Amino acid sequence: MPRKKLDDSNRRRSVESTCQFRGQGLSSTEIDTSRLSSAVSEEAVPDVSEIPSAQHRRPEQNDSNFIHSPSGLLHTRIRRRSSGVAVPQLSRLICDTKGKFTFIGDSANLSFLQSIRRLVRESVVGCCPLTEDPLKSLMVEAPPDNQHWINIGTRASAPKPNIDEARYLIRRYMIATNCILDLFDEAELLENLSTWLKDEREATLLPSTIYYLVFAIGAQTSPEDKEEISGLYFNYGRYLTALRHAEEPSIVAVQCYAMISFYLLAASRRNAAYMNLGIAIRAAQALGLHRRDISKLFARDEYRYRERTWKVLRVLDLFMSCTLGRPPSTSETRDTAVQDNYSACVDLCSIFEVILNEVYYKRMVSSEALERISGMQRRWTATFRRGLANDGIRPEDRMPDGSPNIGLYHVKEAYYLTIILVTRPFFLEAISMHISATTLSSGCGTDGGLISTANNHLVHACIDSAIRTIELLRGLICAQGIPKRLPYVVNSIFVAALVIGTAFFGDMDRILPLDGSLCTAQQLLRMFPADAVSRRDLAIVEYLQEACQMYIEQRTRRRMDFHGQLVGDIFGNVDKFGTAASESRVGGQNRPHSPEQALDIGFNTLSSPTAPGRVDSVATNIDNILSSWANPYSDSLAPVPPRTLCFQPVEDAMPLFSTVNTVDMDI
């Protein structure tokens, strides 16, 4: 459409003030979907008075791959509502490995990462490898196999393993998928194994598709190099699934597509996993697995079989929704808090669902929603140990053989992730305000002090949960026989590392052990070199740590310069040749006194013959300046920055989050 006609159309729709023609700003790799939605909703049209004028906008630099709001993250427009404050939209379309657009929502890790890049760019660090990463607008995934699985499956069947190899692969499957793919008991798989290996007609309770996919996941996650046999089992199991279970809904079809989704997720092919999970969920809904009252119509064993299958879909679906920012495909109609057959995993999934719907879907954080979510989390910490048995998870941190309890790790890290998700908007707001304060106060040679907002407890909860996540998973470092692919663990490490690294820009490293936790996170990510997502996450965390080091060095330099000025004002400075005092007095009556100016004025007043009787006040002034110098965390000189992301504050007396490590319940 020509430019003139486009402008006329905008005037007729009364949106000419919000529309801008950018010939160079639109990137071929990303589209901000918030602009698409705002053009069709009258409610989303912003007030003209809230949009900064062109001369006051700070242009985005070196960020042509992203389309943002006019004034960037630190000056984001917000629109107040009666029930809360709107959260800025972070949804966007990004390119996959084939150059096609895929949707990434507000809760996605990539959206969180892009917000962090903006904060780093707006800080004193500016442009750095983290902000200029050439892959920042892409979803990095592993490429598919050179040969399509259909062609592989039609040529020949995969050979069955011997009994010892089959038992080993089943054991590896159970270790890696504990708490995630709770579809079968290990005894159930072993009971029918011998019959399946000998019977060519497959006259067993479990079909070949189940066994081949179990073997594929077991070989894929095995510490040994079994990539070739893993791909062979997977391709043939996927071929049999499409041949026998693709058109008619059945429990076996749901189980097979759920295992296919997990295999693809562990293979760093998230979009492919998302597609196959959709098939499993639709088949489950066609069977009525989403309704407990429907499942209760069956015999007790069949009822429990259906319930555990639905639980697996919930765990996979909520994980994909949180990490990719896409709407959940499942919705829970059960009362997950009931004591009868209580499942800690199912109850935790309901918390994830509430966070996505109440915070990220509505794009606002209210006190009511926060109180409801924190109440669910406190209740969960008090009861989750009683539900571990129904989830097939041992309550100890270590297994009988001394290996880490991967299932318990999965549960606890997911709990910490719920806290990070619900407090992340407050955390980003606080860091944004602190960067603004540091930028404004850097001209005086000082920093912005420690983070101080009305929601400090929520900010600390976010950072604390990230540190606890790393401390929880630290036990994997020295353990033997760890699965070489753990997508849920890798995701928790990455999210925690992003929070910890960003906390440096709020100067939280002064009071919390951030540096050690960030190094541990990198060490944990290095344990999964076969995972393409883990390798990419490690590169991002290394970039973030480099940015943190740059920030710390500049903060130290500013502090040294500030202290040097104080020393020079008291004892003199040979490098300035005596010009500092005269320069500080020029226009001093019209400017607020900095600490060094105050000292200079104090000494001049002390030596002035026209000011008798002021020695005590000058001495007091000097003492106050030196006391602030001695306290490096004093924020008395920090200016008040403008709030960029305002959220409704929570009452300080409101109880917040429990920690799973402090619960002492009878099992």
The highest-confidence range among 36-40, 441-445, 598-602, 632-636, by mean pLDDT, is 441-445
Q: Can you tell me the mean pLDDT for 246-270?
A: 94
Worst-scoring range by mean pLDDT, 224-228, 271-275, 592-596? 592-596
Structure tokens, 67: 């389309």
**With b meaning 16 or more CB within 10 Å and e meaning fewer, what string describes 492-509?**
bbbbbbbbbbbbbbbbbb
Query: Considering only CA atoms, which of 547, 474, 566 is closest in space to residue 509?
Result: 547
pLDDT category of residue 134 using cuts at 50, 70 and 90? confident
Q: What is the pLDDT of residue 652?
A: 44
User: Tens digit of pLDDT for each residue in 338-371?
Assistant: 888 899 999 999 999 999 999 998 888 888 899 9
- How much is the mean pLDDT over the chain? 76
Report pLDDT for 448. 55
Other beta carbons within 10 angstroms of residue 640's beta carbon come to 11
Q: Is the pLDDT at 187 greater than 70, yes or no?
A: yes
Mean pLDDT of all residues in 121-129: 91
Domain ranges of the chain: 146-267+269-334
Q: Rounded CA gap, 278 and 313, in Å?
A: 10
State residue 450's pLDDT score: 65
β-pair partners for 404: 398
| Mean per-residue pLDDT, 541-545 | 96
Tokens found for residue 312: 């697996």
- Strand residues in 100-230 grouped as ranges (E): 101-104
Query: Would you state the pLDDT for residue 42?
Result: 33
Q: How far apart (Å, rounded) are the C-alpha atoms in residues 343 and 351?
A: 13
Q: Under a CB-based contact definition with an 8 Å cutoff, are residues 238 and 276 in contact?
A: no
pLDDT at 461: 95
Task: Assess whether pLDDT exceeds 70 at residue 395.
Answer: yes
Distances (CA, A) of 248 to 244, 282, 365, 636: 8, 11, 42, 69
Quote the tokens at residue 206. Answer: 């479990």
Checking DSSP bridges between strand 92-95 and strand 80-81, what pairing results, if any? unpaired
With 80 as the cut, is the pLDDT of residue 530 above it? yes
Please compute the mean of the pLDDT values over residues 164-193 and round it to a whole number.
93
Say what the pLDDT of residue 146 is: 62
Q: Quote the pLDDT of residue 23.
A: 37
Nearest to 113 by CA among 97, 98, 144, 92: 92
Is residue 466 within 8 Å of 517, Cβ to Cβ? Answer: yes
Say what percent of the chain tops pLDDT 90.
47
| Residue 107 and residue 321 in contact, taking contact as beta carbons nearer than 8 Å | yes
| 468: pLDDT strictly greater than 90 | yes
The predicted pLDDT at position 599 comes to: 33
| Identity of residue 336 | T
Q: What is the mean pLDDT of residues 267-284?
A: 95
Q: Tens digits of per-residue pLDDT, 600-649? A: 433 333 333 434 444 444 444 445 444 444 444 343 333 333 333 333 33
- When mean pLDDT is compared across 60-74, 290-304, 344-358, the lowest value belongs to 60-74
Percentage of the chain surpassing pLDDT 70? 68
Residues whose CB falls within 8 Å of the CB of residue 20, separated by 6 or more in sequence, listed in order: 70
Q: What pLDDT does 357 receive?
A: 93
Q: Per-residue pLDDT tens for 502-511?
A: 999 999 998 8
Residue 464 has pLDDT above 70, yes or no: yes
Confidence class of residue 43 from pLDDT cuts 50, 70 and 90?
A: very low
**84: burial class by Cβ within 10 Å (0-12, 13-18, 19+)?**
buried
pLDDT at residue 616 in the model: 47
Alpha-carbon distance of 35 to 21, in angstroms, equals 12
pLDDT for the residue 197 = 87
Query: 33 and 93 in contact (C-beta within 8 Å)?
Result: yes
Res 267: pLDDT? 94
Nearest one of 504, 522, 505 to 514, comparing CA atoms: 504
